[in-house]
Amino acid sequence: MEKTRSSFSGKLGFILAAAGSAVGLGNIWRFPYLAAKYGGGTFLLIYIILSVTFGFALMVAEICIGRKTGLSPIGAFGKLNKKFSFLGYLAALIPVMILPYYSVIGGWVTKYFFSYATNNIPTNSAAVTDKSSIFSDFFNNFVCDTGSPILWFLIFIGVTALIVWFGVEKGIEKVSKIMMPVLVFLSIGIAIYVLFQDGALEGAKYYLIPDFSNMTPQTLLMTVVAAMGQLFYSMSLAMGIMITYGSYMKKDVNVESAVHKIEWFDTGIAFFAGLMVIPAIFAAGGSGIEKPGPGLMFVALPSVFDSMPGGKIIGTVFFLLVFLAALTSSISLMETVVSIFQDKFKMRRGTSCAIVLGICVLLGLPSSLGFGIWDITSYIGMTFLDLFDLLSNYILMPIAALLTCILVGYIIKPKAIIDEVELSGKFKHKKLFVVMIKYIAPVFLLIILVSSVLDTFSDSFTI
Ligand code: TRP
């Protein structure tokens, strides 16, 4: 911490930076496949409710912890309470688990961009009913291969590491801030196009209308667990990122309204991504919807682009934009870890980058190979990628979030956070905040944690 802490220029700067970290593969790739997997409308409804209550409270707490202490997570928790220093380390471990498999998916996106740009995507000219099968074959052939997905994974993580190493992320961030709105408009446009296709409305109904009729308590619980995991992931919560951002935030910026904006922006993009991907699967004939997994986006969208006029160009632009969104997120994930290594072990930036890159490559290989030669699905019911995803989103993040709630609710007390919020105006949802942080969130998190652990060991998590 030799340098004095820089700060965001103002409210807009803060919102854009936080939203830039939040919007990434979580919104465009992960949200739609989880929504498809966990009952469509039910998942969407639960997600939105959690976002405005639980997500709101936790984000306010994290940002205020950062702004109050002016430190990044490792120092911040320790400053609030000595006994909680470990929480900073725990939070810092989570990006190390996420970044490797994030980059595997980032590699797939890069591959799709290149395939579109070089016109190497299959075309479906025959009038077959199940159009998605040709694209799911293309996807499966790619991910089940050994060398090719690894190569693209290495390219993606390599580019990330280079940018972090040279510290040129500001340039990339500028580009992506201009491109991001384009991505939003493109997604909305694609979603509208999809909705006019035959069969798409069935998909829209599935996605938009909650159906609790054949829910059992167990499936409902699993949906809540999945929605909560997605909330952490998508809003970059429970891993100290928002604490770091909060530490750069000026005291006169209104925390509450900033959080609302980030929340709606992030959820809005996820919403349109779902509206683009899920109806597309129905329109294309439905293969894939019975067992949606991480490949959903890579099968649904190419079959939409295939039937669109100018689809090849739209596909190229779309995957380029997703690539950029993923890259800005992977840069900040890696930056977090690299700076911790630098600070803690007094390492040079280059060394720290190289070590983090090495760890990520090692941890990423099983996620990539897990679709091919290292397929462990028959033993534990999920791939390595799912396993890393589960460990981070359903186990480590709930633990970090639970401890944060205990720290804020019972040790430093909610008033410390409320005072921080009120430095810049009235805290409108103060009651909601207190009730969430003290009572509802901890109980919820505990249930989630217990059920995730039980499910992991009883194998029933993957349906
Ligand atoms: N929120 C990002 C997404 O939706 C992923 C992510 C999680 C992230 N934690 C992060 C990005 C920390 C940057 C920093 O894709």
Under DSSP, the state recorded for 5 is: P
**Beta strands, E only, 89-194:** none
pTM of the model: 0.91
pLDDT at 313: 93
Average pLDDT rounded to a whole number, residues 177-204: 89
Q: Which long-range contacts (CB under 8 A, 24 or more apart) does 117-122 make?
A: 117/316, 117/320, 119/312, 121/302, 121/305, 121/312, 121/315, 122/302
Cβ of residue 157 lying under 6 Å from some atom of ligand 1: no
The answer on pLDDT for 459 being more than 60 is no
Cβ of residue 26 lying under 6 Å from some atom of ligand 1: yes
User: Ligand 1, atom 10: nearest CA belongs to which residue?
Assistant: 236
The answer on pLDDT for 132 being more than 70 is no
Higher pLDDT, 18 or 54: 54
The Cα–Cα gap between 150 and 360 comes to 12
Higher pLDDT, 461 or 183: 183
pLDDT at 460: 45
Cα of 283 to ligand 1 centre, how many Å? Answer: 30
Amino acid at 338: V
Average pLDDT rounded to a whole number, residues 247-253: 88
Cβ of residue 241 lying under 6 Å from some atom of ligand 1: yes
Task: Report residue 366's pLDDT band, with 50, 70 and 90 as the boundaries.
Answer: very high
pLDDT at 18: 82
Which of 217, 220, 386, 366 lies closest to 295 in space, CA to CA? 386
Cβ of residue 113 lying under 6 Å from some atom of ligand 1: no
Question: What string of DSSP letters covers 48-59?
Answer: HHHIIIIIHHHH
The answer on pLDDT for 424 being more than 90 is no
pLDDT at 374: 84
Tens-digit pLDDT profile for residues 312-353: 999 999 999 899 989 989 988 898 888 888 877 888 989 999
**What are the C-alpha distances in Å from 133 to residues 107, 123, 206, 299, 449?**
22, 12, 21, 8, 37
Tens-digit pLDDT profile for residues 285-316: 765 566 788 888 998 899 889 888 889 999 99
On average, the pLDDT of the chain sits at 88
Task: Report residue 3's pLDDT band, with 50, 70 and 90 as the boundaries.
Answer: very low
Average pLDDT rounded to a whole number, residues 427-451: 93
**What are the C-alpha distances in Å from 131 to residues 139, 167, 282, 298?**
13, 44, 10, 13
pLDDT at 6: 62
Task: Report residue 87's pLDDT band, with 50, 70 and 90 as the boundaries.
Answer: very high
The Cα–Cα gap between 54 and 49 comes to 8
Tens-digit pLDDT profile for residues 92-129: 889 999 999 999 999 999 999 999 999 998 887 555 55
The answer on pLDDT for 461 being more than 50 is no
Higher pLDDT, 434 or 296: 434
Cα of 95 to ligand 1 centre, how many Å? Answer: 9
User: Ligand 1, atom 14: nearest CA belongs to which residue?
Assistant: 333
Cα of 19 to ligand 1 centre, how many Å? Answer: 10
Question: Which of 237, 241, 269 gets mutated to test ligand 1 (max ligand atoms within 8 A of its CB)?
Answer: 241
* Tokens linked to 122: 């299959």
pLDDT at 287: 52
The Cα–Cα gap between 340 and 344 comes to 6
Q: What is the dihedral of CA 105, 108, 110, 116, to 10 degrees?
A: -140
Question: Which of 333, 336, 393 gets mutated to test ligand 1 (max ligand atoms within 8 A of its CB)?
Answer: 333
CB 300 within 8 A of CB 203: no
pLDDT at 126: 57
* Tokens linked to 394: 């359903």
User: Ligand 1, atom 6: nearest CA belongs to which residue?
Assistant: 236
Q: What is the dihedral of CA 194, 195, 199, 204, to 10 degrees?
A: 110
Cα of 337 to ligand 1 centre, how many Å? Answer: 13
Half-sphere exposure of 404 (CA within 13 A, CB side): 36
Cβ of residue 328 lying under 6 Å from some atom of ligand 1: no
The answer on pLDDT for 463 being more than 70 is no
Higher pLDDT, 19 or 189: 189
